[in-house]
Amino acid sequence: MAEETMTLRVTRYRPERGPDSYLDEFDVPYREDMVVLDALNHIKDDIDGSLTYRWSCRMGVCGSCGMMVNGMPRLTCSTYLREFHPEPVVIEPLESFPVIRDLVVDMTDFLEKLREVKPWVIREREDAVEEGEYLQTPEEVDRYKQFSMCINCMLCYSACPVYAQDPEFLGPAAIALASRYNLDSRDQGRSERDEVLGVDTGIWDCTFVGECSVVCPKDVDPAAAIQRTKVSTTTRGMLAAVWPHRGRR
């Protein structure tokens, strides 16, 4: 029996070869239960060892393997080839990021933004470990849990047209993670984070296209985080104007 195959069209970029990207085509053996990453690994192992991409956990949790698959940002370890079979699949590096090589993009920008939103618990007074845990009910955990599920895969950035036009935009995941701490009953750092969130390059840059939430593989819903932050900063701003002691928490 002849083996079934499938074609992958992969965007390559190798700085040594010149300043432009180019297309490479590979035929790989096809099985029903193969994910896109399996096909890439097949190419790297047995056809062309110079194909370059990131991956690690191959269980959808480390966040390394994001690429554009047929024009949509996807985790390649959790995207099955059968979704596209028998048509060829087009694999490109994530949109809106500078490309380092082939399918590897530079995410230094996100890491800097992440630090800017202070993604750690801020308190006026830190309890000593001996005093035991801060109490937090399951309901209180529910309030921020969804926004704590972000695996930093960058799919949302690559789906966001605002980020594409304005790289200064803090972006979906960074704002979702800021909200994660703002909504945590143990945290008291909201006003510090407002300084980066409540500005033009923060929440107000967002026009609510909503694609970030559509592509997010972990249902983080960053779009909701952004809009809710818009609502809460506005109401707190207004409250602060009429009732100066309430606005800050």
Residues at the contact surface with ligand FES, assessed by CB under 6 A: 55-58, 60-65, 75, 77
Q: Which stretch binds ligand SF4 (CB under 6 A): 84-92, 96-104, 218-226, 236-244?
A: 218-226
Residues 173-192 that bind ligand SF4 (CB under 6 A): 173, 176
CB 210 within 8 A of CB 170: no
* Closest-CA residue to 106 (of 139, 154, 160, 62): 154
User: Is residue 107 at the binding interface for another protein, with CB under 8 A as the rule?
Assistant: yes
List the end-to-end C-alpha distance of the chain, in Å, as a whole number. Answer: 70
Which of these ranges, 1-9, 40-48, 168-176, 198-206, lies near another protein under the rule CB under 8 A? 40-48
Question: Residue 181: which residues within 8 A CB-CB, separation 6 or more?
Answer: 118, 119, 120, 121, 122, 144, 187, 189, 193
Q: Taking CB under 8 A as the rule, which mask of x and - marks residues 186-225 in contact with another protein?
A: xx-------------------xxxxx-xx------x-xx-
When the beta carbons of 53 and 169 are compared against ligand FES, the nearer one is: 53
Does residue 77 touch ligand SF4 according to CB under 6 A?
no
Tokens of 27: 């035929």
Pairing of strands 66-69, 22-29: unpaired
Which CB sits closer to ligand FES, 53 or 181?
53
CB atoms within 10 A of CB 216: 23
Interface with ligand SF4 by CB under 6 A: which residues? 150-156, 172-173, 176, 215-216, 218, 220, 222
